[in-house]
Amino acid sequence: MNTPISAFDLSKEALPDLLLKIQQGYIQLPDLQRSFCWRDDLVIDLLASVSQGWPIGGILLQEVGNGTWKVHSRLVEGVHLEQIPTPTELILDGQQRCTTLFMCLFSNRPVRVQSRRNGKMSDRWYYIDIQKALDPEVEREQTILGFNQGRIRPGFAGHPAIHCSTPEQEYELGLFPLAQVLSYATWRQGYSKYWQYDPVRLELLDRFEREVIKRFEHFQVPVIRLKPGLPKAAVCRVFEKVNTQSEQLNFFDLATACFASQDFSLRDDWAKREQRLKQHRVLETVKETDYLACAALVVTYYKRQQAIAAGVPSQKLPAVACSREEVLDLSLADYQQYADQVIAGYEEAARFLYGQKIQTAEDLPYQIQLVALAAILAVEGYPQDRVRAKLEQWFWCGSCAALYTSWHERRASRDMVEVPAWLHDGGELPNTVQMAHLQADRLLLVRRRHGAVYKAINALLRKHGAIDFAAGEALAEINLFNDPIDSHHIFPVAYCKKQGISKDRFNSLVNLTPLSRLSNQKIGGKAPSQYLRALEAEGISRRRMDEILRSHLIEPETSQADDFEAFLSQRAQSLMELVHCAMGKTPAGTVIDIEQHSLNSKLVIA
């Protein structure tokens, strides 16, 4: 069987024929398309372009054939049928234009549009001023008028209201209702009779028919038709590329439409599960696409395990993956079988992260690593003792070494295969643990306060027991009770600038530490020795202040002496020791025996 070179055809279709298919229900919308919502000015611009025969862009249709994957569909807005046929084509791109033209020209109903001024929805009828439309000096958009549902255009700035509630009023004002473009002959007959076949007015009407009406009747719409049998993943990619709304369509939308064809609402199911996840602050920003990616990891993991148990050769084992292809290959049965287990995996992940002092969604280095973590815990359950120490090592290796920055879906898929096997002592060291490495030079170059490395080190500092300068409480406890914790300079910016310290050095991660807003106010722009003395004057003993500084891996002597270079060198080294401890690595990158090196012990800086 020959594979076609192109997955689509290009053609043109007469506008009346296209609108007729929409009216008959043979062209429909996939249910993942969002509702029609256009502003009044956009409707007028589109009608003006068609009335002049100007291009309005192409329409993208998906042909529906035998064997094509099923997707739930619905009629174009404004279409009302007692018996809805099976569609032959679905609109993938051009919904707003098709719906606008159908409602304006073919439905004989008002168009529901959004006000540009206040965003409110209202029903509108559209008319074109015959006399002005034939005047080359008048912009076509200025000749098209919108009327309210009662066909009244309110007066303004001293101009009276315009009424077109009867055909006679339309004839008198010379305003043609665009809803009758395709039944123009009938309207023309009434107009001619009303004006008693006045030759001047008939000549005007002849010109209007030639220069405007015929443009509508003979307008050709460029159409791109995707051939039947195109994979779901490819269709999803098309949706993502052609959609220009502020909220892009994604594979969750397409999966929703696919499941809807089997009378299951994925969107409603996710809404319930999302509420359950949001009970945990660290899971508040889990997206529907993250959730489905996690489900894909779990489903493909079990399919691989089943193949292993059946003796399938290693080279033929099914892949474990979470890309859009795997997500869109999820069957409804697979989804329903593992959905509860996936949610349980996320909840176990929240428990695990809490132990790492990652308590809010903002603290997470990577959302995609959370997907992998939840999937691993979905199949493994919550780990105990040494097994949990291994999982901690894997987590910090991925976070501190920024290994989930690129190729993250591939990284998550590989970890889903390697980490569970490693946790059970039968597998090799995961690639994420093997590859993790962070050099001191890199540490000095990190300046992104919202980057993965910074978030990871902040969490490690909280886990190490970092105490807030002003409050004297552990940051982990302050963070737990919603007090704002942010990244602040230890040697303040204003002080560093006065001392001529370069921006690259004072803005490095080494000179930043998590502190409360109150601590930042106490620090101000003063030298460390000054703000430390001020804190001591408020009742914090020197010994206690030294303990607080060391909890942030800051050597008190360097701060008391305002010695920036000594501070930077000492703290960089201490932070590296903290990171190596968490990753279970020596400074040279050698993996440490996890049983002999507990990740739960606190690093002590002499």
CA gap 284, 506 in Å, rounded: 33
Is pLDDT larger for residue 557 or for residue 114?
557
CA gap 467, 458 in Å, rounded: 12
Structure tokens given for 95: 């919904």
Strand-pair category, 220-226 with 485-489:
unpaired
Is pLDDT larger for residue 33 or for residue 227?
227
10 Å CB burial of residue 590 (0-12, 13-18, 19+) is: exposed
CA gap 494, 505 in Å, rounded: 13
Q: Where are the alpha helices (DSSP H) in 492-590?
A: 493-498, 503-506, 517-523, 528-537, 542-551, 556-560, 564-583
Structure tokens given for 527: 């030298």
Q: Does 244 score more than 60 pLDDT? A: no
CA 470 from chain centre, in angstroms, equals: 38
Handedness of CA 489, 493, 497, 498 (dihedral sign): negative
CA gap 62, 145 in Å, rounded: 34
Which pLDDT score, from 0 to 100, does residue 407 have? 72
Give the pLDDT band of residue 42 (cuts 50, 70, 90): very high
* Residue 214 backbone phi and psi in degrees, to 5: -60, -30
Contact 396, 578 (CB under 8 A): no
- The helix-helix angle for 95-105 and 40-51 (nearest 10°) equals 80
307-322 pLDDT per residue, tens: 999 999 999 999 999 9
H or E stretch covering 368: helix 367-380
Q: What is the CA radius of gyration of the chain?
A: 33
Query: Could you say which DSSP state residue 509 is in?
Result: G
CA gap 283, 276 in Å, rounded: 10
Is pLDDT larger for residue 41 or for residue 589?
41
Max distance between CA atoms of the chain, in angstroms, equals: 106
Is pLDDT larger for residue 262 or for residue 419?
419
Strand-pair category, 27-30 with 111-114:
unpaired
Give the pLDDT band of residue 528 (cuts 50, 70, 90): very high
Q: Give strand pairing partners of 591.
A: 585
Give the pLDDT band of residue 600 (cuts 50, 70, 90): very low
Q: What's at 305, amino acid-wise?
A: Q
Q: Does 253 score more than 70 pLDDT? A: yes
State mean pLDDT over 540-545. Answer: 94
Q: For 78, how many CA atoms within 13 A lie in the half-sphere containing its CB?
A: 27
Is pLDDT larger for residue 183 or for residue 31?
183
486-508 pLDDT per residue, tens: 889 999 999 999 999 999 899 99
Structure tokens given for 359: 């308590």
| Alpha carbon separation from 26 to 81, 90, 92, 95, 109 (Å, rounded) | 11, 8, 14, 15, 20
Give the pLDDT band of residue 156 (cuts 50, 70, 90): confident
CA gap 286, 288 in Å, rounded: 7
In three-state secondary structure terms, 66 is: coil
CA gap 563, 526 in Å, rounded: 14
Instruction: Compute the mean pLDDT over every residue in the chain, rounded to the nearest whole number.
Output: 87
What is the per-residue DSSP string for 256-289? HHHHHTTT--HHHHHHHHHHHHTTSGGGTT--HH
H or E stretch covering 409: helix 408-423
Which pLDDT score, from 0 to 100, does residue 558 have? 96
Strand-pair category, 73-74 with 27-30:
antiparallel
| Alpha carbon separation from 460 to 394, 410, 447, 576 (Å, rounded) | 14, 26, 17, 11
CA gap 300, 417 in Å, rounded: 10
Q: Which residues of 204-242 are buried (b: 16+ CB within 10 A; e: fewer)?
A: bbeebeeebbebbeebebebbbbeeebebbebbbbbeee
Q: Does 602 score more than 50 pLDDT? A: no
10 Å CB burial of residue 173 (0-12, 13-18, 19+) is: middle
State mean pLDDT over 434-443. Answer: 84
Q: Does 601 score more than 70 pLDDT? A: no
In three-state secondary structure terms, 551 is: helix
Strand-pair category, 220-226 with 59-63:
parallel
Give the pLDDT band of residue 148 (cuts 50, 70, 90): very high
CA 82 from chain centre, in angstroms, equals: 37
79-125 pLDDT per residue, tens: 999 999 999 999 888 888 999 999 999 999 999 898 766 678 899 99
Q: Which of these, 236, 241, 349, 340, lies nearest to 286 by C-alpha position?
A: 349
195-224 pLDDT per residue, tens: 999 999 999 999 999 999 999 999 999 998
What CA dihedral angle connects 17, 18, 22 and 24, to 10 degrees? Answer: 20
User: What percent of the chain has pLDDT above 70?
Assistant: 87
| Alpha carbon separation from 553 to 311, 450, 522 (Å, rounded) | 53, 20, 20
